[in-house]
DNA sequence: AGCGGAACAT
DNA sequence: ATGTTCCGCT
């Protein structure tokens, strides 16, 4: 069966294209870069090197060529490509490693969230290699880092296993889609494939083990997305099945598992990530680690709001807490296996720094089982989202900056002069749709929309469709606000987010703003002042600590009390409908009852605001610039011309998505009825599946 | 090399 | 929204 999704359900776009944003569905440069990085074949042109996420472009021209090929822009050169990379600075996706030529560093925090929201940062995974970015694999489980080997990333097989093994990597094989996107077939891919070739079949080939069942086996990659069996997924996420009430219960992100004790903590299957196949995937564990290590708090960073939106469940680690806590968190999910291996416990961070790829350092210990009970109040790692526990409603004076509508060049032009470049006249006027986003943002049901970006408000198409389609309810989002961020804190970046700021800020920031941080109206300041003087690091740290209000029972996420906050903002807290805000269900049970309940509530959209800091944290400090923002918005629509490039076609591998929709259930609402949940799940599944395909156009 | 503004393109 | 293309400044 197809799920509705197939048909037409609207699904969260993000699902399809995590990376790409709303508007563009094409492959994004960072994505492409990751693809290259993961492939050994390209190590001579680009490779991980240095700290986490750091990579060096050994052959700029070649990279540019490849990129140009992928985008059908033969004129591409490093100068242009680098310009594009520079745009990532503001987005925090990437940073330049100062002092090293052609060396940049990914800010996985951001990426992760975006792509794999479900990741819980709480846990750690295994060790990390060095620079390689994390790859999320499955949902729930863990993350791993792909060391330098690209291939691994691609192939999920490894995942199945455990991280440890994978590291070794060696495998390579495939490239297939690696690059993923679509078409690489064309140029890039082709090249890639050359290397190894065979792409085409990966599916069959690998075989995988998986076991699982999905239908056929499909291989490794497939394991996850395309064909995940529903069962599996469900299980993981808590399936709908008879027993599985999990869905209901805590709607968390799939990945996280539901805590409810019930059963299925995570599932047996190791990998499942929905997205894996498609683009590059990060391992969750790795990511976590990465994140933790670097950032620790999500809060700080701000993930992009969008990212969270979709996954309300994400658990974010609590802010600042010492390692210990973290560890605990991590543990939760932990698969025992990993844990064992890790054994080390110690040093996460420190270890990381090393550059050994090996996993040795990994360490995370796992203390307890995932679902076992945990004493810690707020620490439930996976399951519940972070803040739940604590989020006070606060609103603090953050700095959100709202910006007035930008004006742009267009205006400028108008005023000032004509454009130099083109003589034509476009009509300029008109269109600024962009602004819309800011203001509103309410997304209701569809996360996706928000996710997508522009969506903010949007209800636009996607949303609508949802609603219309029938999914309307899914929404789940209601809470999102709540979640929000609570923590968000600050970090330096504070400012930066111009773009999002609005949107997101509104939601969460405001709302929660919090008490905790009280400190700072402006993050930075605060730090400086009170906290410390150091630069970034301090900031981060501060950040971490800052918040912390923990009253245990307090956090009503959104539901309970939202009044103030939400009210203020005007957001409708309830976007969705069905839900349940109030109290709804909290029943549950188990363990964390309270917590859990709250948890459930978790908002869908969690969005955090601030972002990045992390990067900086590292060594370079570059951060200062946060403010900039990019955003020109103007959209003019002028004529468009077509280009003609098309080249390719790729293998088609992909396709498999149609069928099985893996359900990820994360819905978030607490009270939401099962049905809704299920739906959501289904949708998610679908989305996931599709993810793989993601791109393909050109 | 690298940065970033602008205008233009999708 | 994400690049691409130019280009001037460091």
pLDDT tens by residue, A401-418? 333 333 334 444 444 333
Quick one: average pLDDT of A42-54? 90
What is the reported pLDDT for A114? 60
> pLDDT, tens digit, for every residue of A421-438?
433 333 333 333 333 333
DSSP designation for A554? T
Give the best-scoring range by mean pLDDT among A281-285, A396-400, A645-649: A281-285
Query: C2 C1' – A625 CA distance, angstroms?
Result: 21
A661 alpha-carbon distance from chain centroid: 20
What is the reported pLDDT for A53? 86
Residues 6+ apart with CB under 8 A from A56: A46, A47, A49, A50, A100, A101, A102, A103, A104
> pLDDT, tens digit, for every residue of A206-239?
322 333 333 332 222 322 332 222 223 223 322 2
| pLDDT of A80 higher than 70 | yes
What is the reported pLDDT for A102? 95
CA separation for the pair A513, A490 (Å, rounded): 10
* Nucleotide closest to residue A410 (CA–C1'): B7
A253 alpha-carbon distance from chain centroid: 12
Query: C2 C1' – A260 CA distance, angstroms?
Result: 41
Residues A517, A610: contact at Cβ < 8 Å?
no
| pLDDT of A184 higher than 80 | no
Q: Could you give the residue ranges of the DSSP H alpha helices within A176-219?
A: 187-196, 202-206
Nucleotides of C under 7 A from a protein CB: 1-7
Query: B10 C1' – A359 CA distance, angstroms?
Result: 43
Residues A145, A134: contact at Cβ < 8 Å?
yes
What is the reported pLDDT for A671? 34
Percentage of chain A beyond pLDDT 70 is: 12
| pLDDT of A104 higher than 60 | yes
Residue A528: name the closest of A488, A486, A494 by CA. Answer: A494
> pLDDT, tens digit, for every residue of A575-609?
333 333 333 333 333 333 333 333 333 333 333 33
Query: C2 C1' – A589 CA distance, angstroms?
Result: 46
Residues 411-430 in A having a C-beta less than 7 A from any atom of strand B are 412-413, 419-424, 426
| pLDDT of A512 higher than 60 | no
pTM over 0.75: no
Q: Which residues of A241-256 are buried (b: 16+ CB within 10 A; e: fewer)?
A: eeebbbbbbbbbbbbb
What is the reported pLDDT for A82? 96
* Nucleotide closest to residue A454 (CA–C1'): C1
Residue A46 binned pLDDT confidence (cut-offs 50, 70, 90): very high
Residues A610, A302: contact at Cβ < 8 Å?
yes
Residue A451 binned pLDDT confidence (cut-offs 50, 70, 90): very low
- Paired with A47 in beta bridges are A56
Residue A74 binned pLDDT confidence (cut-offs 50, 70, 90): very high
Query: B8 C1' – A421 CA distance, angstroms?
Result: 8
Phi, psi of A595 (to 5 degrees): -55, -45
Residues A205, A634: contact at Cβ < 8 Å?
no
Cβ of A635 < 7 Å from strand B?
yes
Residue A476: name the closest of A511, A437, A443 by CA. Answer: A443
CA separation for the pair A66, A425 (Å, rounded): 34
Query: C8 C1' – A494 CA distance, angstroms?
Result: 30
Residues A163, A285: contact at Cβ < 8 Å?
yes
Strand C CB shell (< 7 Å)? A 20-24, 27-30, 67-68, 71, 73, 75-76, 79-81, 83-84, 87-88, 91, 434, 437, 453-454, 499, 630-633, 635
What is the reported pLDDT for A78? 96
Query: B1 C1' – A79 CA distance, angstroms?
Result: 10
What is the reported pLDDT for A133? 56
CA separation for the pair A244, A251 (Å, rounded): 12
Quick one: average pLDDT of A456-484? 32
Q: Which residues of A15-37 are buried (b: 16+ CB within 10 A; e: fewer)?
A: bbbbbbbbeebbbbbbbbbbbbb
Residues 473-532 in A having a C-beta less than 7 A from any atom of strand B are none
Query: C10 C1' – A98 CA distance, angstroms?
Result: 15
What CATH number should be reported for the domain whose range is A27-115? 1.10.10.10
CA separation for the pair A8, A341 (Å, rounded): 44
Cβ of A632 < 7 Å from strand B?
yes
> pLDDT, tens digit, for every residue of A561-583?
333 333 333 333 333 333 333 33
Query: B7 C1' – A419 CA distance, angstroms?
Result: 7
What is the reported pLDDT for A52? 81
Among protein residues, the one whose C-alpha sits closest to the C1' atom of B7 is: A421
Residue A646: name the closest of A173, A242, A246, A69 by CA. Answer: A69
Residue A110 binned pLDDT confidence (cut-offs 50, 70, 90): confident
Query: B1 C1' – A696 CA distance, angstroms?
Result: 34
Residues A199, A155: contact at Cβ < 8 Å?
no
Concatenated DSSP letters of A594-651: HHHHHHHH--S---------HHHHSS---TT-TT------------------------
* Nucleotide closest to residue A82 (CA–C1'): B2
Residue A118 binned pLDDT confidence (cut-offs 50, 70, 90): low
Cβ of A642 < 7 Å from strand B?
yes
CA separation for the pair A92, A492 (Å, rounded): 12
Residue A280: name the closest of A604, A56, A53, A126 by CA. Answer: A53
* Nucleotide closest to residue A26 (CA–C1'): C2
């Amino acid at each position: 069966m197809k799920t509705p999704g197939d048909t037409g359900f609207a699904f969260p776009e993000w699902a399809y294209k995590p990376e790409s944003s709303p508007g563009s569905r094409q492959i994004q440069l960072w994505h492409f870069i990751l693809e290259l990085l993961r492939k050994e074949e390209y190590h001579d042109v680009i490779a991980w090197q240095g700290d986490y996420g750091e990579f060096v472009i050994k052959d700029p021209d070649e990279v540019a060529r490849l990129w140009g090929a992928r985008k059908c822009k033969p004129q591409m050169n490093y100068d242009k490509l680098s310009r594009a990379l520079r745009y990532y600075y503001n987005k925090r996706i990437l940073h330049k490693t100062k002092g090293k030529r052609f060396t940049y560093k990914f800010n996985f925090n951001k990426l992760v969230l975006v792509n794999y929201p479900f990741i819980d940062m709480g846990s750690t995974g295994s060790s990390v290699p060095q620079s390689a970015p994390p790859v999320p694999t499955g949902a729930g489980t863990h993350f791993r880092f792909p060391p330098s080997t690209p291939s691994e990333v691609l192939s999920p097989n490894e995942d199945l296993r455990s991280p440890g093994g994978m590291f070794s990597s060696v495998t390579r094989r495939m490239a297939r889609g690696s690059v993923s996107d679509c078409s690489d077939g064309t140029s890039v891919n082709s090249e890639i494939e050359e290397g190894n070739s065979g792409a085409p079949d990966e599916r069959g080939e690998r075989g995988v083990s998986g076991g699982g069942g999905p239908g056929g086996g499909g291989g490794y990659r497939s394991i996850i997305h395309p064909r995940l069996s529903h069962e599996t997924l469900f299980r993981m996420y808590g399936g709908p099945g008879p027993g599985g009430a999990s869905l209901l219960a805590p709607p968390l992100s799939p990945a996280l598992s539901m805590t409810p004790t019930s059963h299925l903590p995570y599932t047996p299957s190791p990998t499942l990530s929905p997205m894996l196949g498609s683009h590059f995937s990060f391992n969750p564990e790795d990511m976590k680690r990465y994140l933790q290590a670097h950032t620790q708090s999500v809060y700080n960073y701000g993930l992009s709001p969008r990212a969270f939106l979709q996954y309300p469940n994400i658990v974010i680690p609590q802010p600042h807490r010492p390692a210990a806590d973290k560890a605990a968190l991590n543990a939760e999910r932990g698969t025992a296996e990993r844990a064992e291996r890790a054994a080390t416990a110690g040093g996460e961070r420190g270890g990381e720094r090393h550059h050994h790829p090996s996993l040795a350092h990994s360490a995370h210990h796992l203390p307890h089982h995932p679902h076992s009970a945990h004493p810690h109040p707020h620490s439930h790692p996976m399951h519940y989202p972070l803040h739940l526990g604590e989020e006070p409603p606060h609103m603090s004076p953050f700095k959100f900056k709202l910006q007035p509508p930008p004006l742009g060049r267009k205006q400028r032009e108008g005023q000032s002069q004509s454009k130099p470049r083109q003589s034509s006249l476009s009509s300029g006027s008109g269109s600024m749709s962009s602004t819309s986003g800011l203001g509103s943002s309410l997304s209701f049901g569809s996360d996706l929309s928000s996710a997508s970006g522009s969506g903010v408000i949007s209800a636009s198409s996607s949303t609508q469709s949802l609603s219309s389609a029938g999914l309307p309810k899914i929404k789940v989002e209601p809470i999102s606000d709540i979640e929000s961020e609570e923590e968000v804190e600050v970090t330096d970046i504070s400012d930066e987010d111009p773009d999002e700021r609005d949107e997101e800020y509104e939601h969460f920031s405001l709302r929660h703003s919090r008490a905790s941080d009280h400190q700072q109206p402006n993050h930075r300041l605060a730090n400086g002042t009170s906290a410390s003087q150091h630069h970034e690091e301090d900031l981060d740290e501060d950040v971490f600590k800052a918040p912390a209000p923990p009253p245990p029972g307090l956090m009503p996420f959104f539901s309970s009390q939202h009044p103030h906050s939400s009210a203020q903002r005007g957001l409708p807290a309830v976007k969705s409908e069905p839900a349940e805000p109030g109290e709804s269900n909290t029943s549950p049970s188990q363990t964390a009852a309270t917590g859990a309940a709250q948890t459930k509530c978790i908002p869908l959209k969690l969005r955090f605001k601030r972002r990045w800091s992390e990067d900086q944290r590292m060594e370079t400090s570059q951060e200062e610039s946060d403010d900039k923002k990019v955003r020109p918005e103007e959209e003019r629509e002028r004529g468009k011309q077509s280009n003609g490039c098309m080249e390719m076609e790729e293998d088609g591998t992909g396709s498999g998505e149609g069928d099985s929709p893996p359900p990820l259930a994360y819905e978030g609402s607490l009270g939401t009825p099962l049905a809704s949940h299920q739906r959501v799940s289904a949708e998610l599944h679908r989305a996931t599946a599709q993810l793989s395909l993601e791109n393909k156009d050109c």
